[in-house]
Amino acid sequence: MRIDVPDEILPADRLGRVHFIGIGGAGLSAIAMLMHEAGVDVAGSDGRDSEVLERLRAAGIACHAGHDAALIADRDTVIASTAVPEDNPEVVEAQRRGLRLWPRSAALMSTMLHDRRVAVAGTHGKTTTTAMLTFALRGAGADPSFAIGAEVAGLGTNARRGAGPEFVVEADESDGAFLHYRPHLAVVTNIDADHLDTWGTVEAYEDAFARFAGTVDQVVVLSADDPGCRRLASAGVAPRVVTAGFAEDADVRGTDVRVEGSTTRFVASAPGLEPTEVVLAVPGRHYAADALLALAAGIQLGHDPAGLVAGLADHTGAARRMEPKGEAAGIRVVDSYAHHPTEIAADLAAARSLAGAGRLVVVFQPHLVSRTRIFGEQMGRELAAADLVVVADLYLAREQPDPEVTSELVRRAAGPDAVAGGPVGQVPSVVAPLLQPGDLVLTLGAGDVTTVGPALLALLRENAG
């Protein structure tokens, strides 16, 4: 559902008792944790129990699995995820009682009103770039606050209040949330048409990023390699532009990229920084591009480049971003969030490096009817780079089914040997007989395909025993 951002955003300590509907999501769980750390009375609900709810409970936040109007009986403010339908009983009750009902963007802004806000936006790579920038700043001796769209290994959470003045936030464009943060500095990783269910056209989507750049106070760090960012730079809407990437004219430039197994190495050069080797503990040229943007942002914030480079080496990945899930019967499983053709291509290239001499087997779950309608065939063509492709049924999320838009659009484009996996719950039993020792299985998608890896590993162990 869509909830308007209020004209006045109060600081979190003036919101009273706060309830989050959809608290198990990456965005709301981060905001709930930040408010809780600030001493706000926080509670929440989600459609089902999860590890996220368990983590929040362990921190002292009351979390309920399931939705019930009675849960907001003593609440003053209600924060709702965009995925929550208008007929949710807690939403209906909040409206009936005239409670303060806010979207996540307003809630997040309330936690960082007095901070030096650093917003990381872009179609792809914003979670990783936000995490990398957080690590880079810590390596340079800073202690930033952060809110990231996934759990991050090495940080132990997706959100934390730091002692320093900077607040690093992942700024999501899917519902226009990023237009409300008014950052001191912003990073745009790339602009590649997506979320057209919200924006309607490619032109409107790009215009949203131009509007975002116009809200920035000081400087916008843009990819030197992305055509959309190039167009944004030339639009003249940002107060000042700094570029980072592999292009020869980049202000912060990367060269000599090497992906070796699970490691990426490259050389970074910038004003005030002699050519320096950067070593990342994640595989893929796209991660080198993210690291260059994080390095450029850290330099613009006034931090020591050598310390920033050292901090980048500490980033070992975020949840669902080429995340190793385990190994059984000589078969490794990795999980990633890629759900757009550009992301699929990048993750397959990285996975090919990890697979080595073994086969690359991809299990993909299309996400959203609207996205599959527009990009389904292109998704399939990118998936065809794998040795074996299994396509699960489409994940509907917040949309209604369309009999003409199914996972078959993707499977057919992936080639004649691509396999229909059916519902996610049956995918492990479909995939297991097709595997052989040495295979790398990559599960991809923004839905519940993340459950396939653990279930597949359990089945392989059972079969081996």
pLDDT of residue 197: 67
- CA separation, residue 145 to residues 119, 134, 267 (Å): 12, 8, 28
pLDDT, position 35:
96
Give the model's pLDDT for residue 65: 96
Q: How far apart are alpha carbons 461 and 465 in whole angstroms?
A: 6
Contacts of 347 (CB under 8 A, 6+ apart): 284, 322, 336, 338, 442, 444
pLDDT at 169: 95
- The owner of tokens 């769980």 is 29
Domains of the chain: 12-104 (3.40.50.720), 115-312 (3.40.1190.10), 323-464 (3.90.190.20)
Q: How wide is the angle at C-alpha 59 spanned by C-alphas 57 and 63, nearest 5°? A: 25
- The span from the CA of 281 to the CA of 231, in Å, is 32
Catalytic residue among 77, 123, 127, 128: 127
Which pTM value belongs to this model?
Answer: 0.79
Could you tell me whether strands 116-121 and 185-188 are parallel, antiparallel, or unpaired per DSSP bridges? parallel
Query: What tens-digit pLDDT sequence spans the chain (465 residues)?
Result: 778 888 899 999 999 999 999 999 888 998 999 999 999 999 999 999 998 899 999 999 999 999 999 999 999 999 998 888 999 999 999 999 999 999 988 999 999 999 999 999 998 889 999 999 999 999 999 999 999 988 888 888 889 999 999 999 999 887 777 888 999 999 999 998 776 566 678 888 899 999 999 999 999 999 999 999 999 999 999 999 999 999 999 999 999 999 888 889 999 999 888 899 999 998 889 899 999 999 999 999 999 999 999 999 999 877 677 788 999 999 999 999 888 898 899 889 889 888 988 999 999 999 988 889 988 999 999 999 999 999 999 998 777 888 889 999 999 999 999 999 999 999 999 999 999 999 999 999 988 999 999 999 999 999 887
Q: Does residue 127 have an active-site annotation?
A: yes
The SS3 of residue 445 is coil
DSSP label at residue 3 = -
Task: Point out the catalytic residue in the list 90, 170, 206, 382.
Answer: 170
- The one catalytic residue among 82, 93, 123, 126: 126
Convert 350-407 into a string of H (helix), E (strand) and C (coil).
HHHHHHCCCCEEEEECCECHHHHHHHHHHHHHHHCCCCEEEEECCECCCCCCECCECC
| Dist. CA 138–CA 142, nearest whole Å | 5
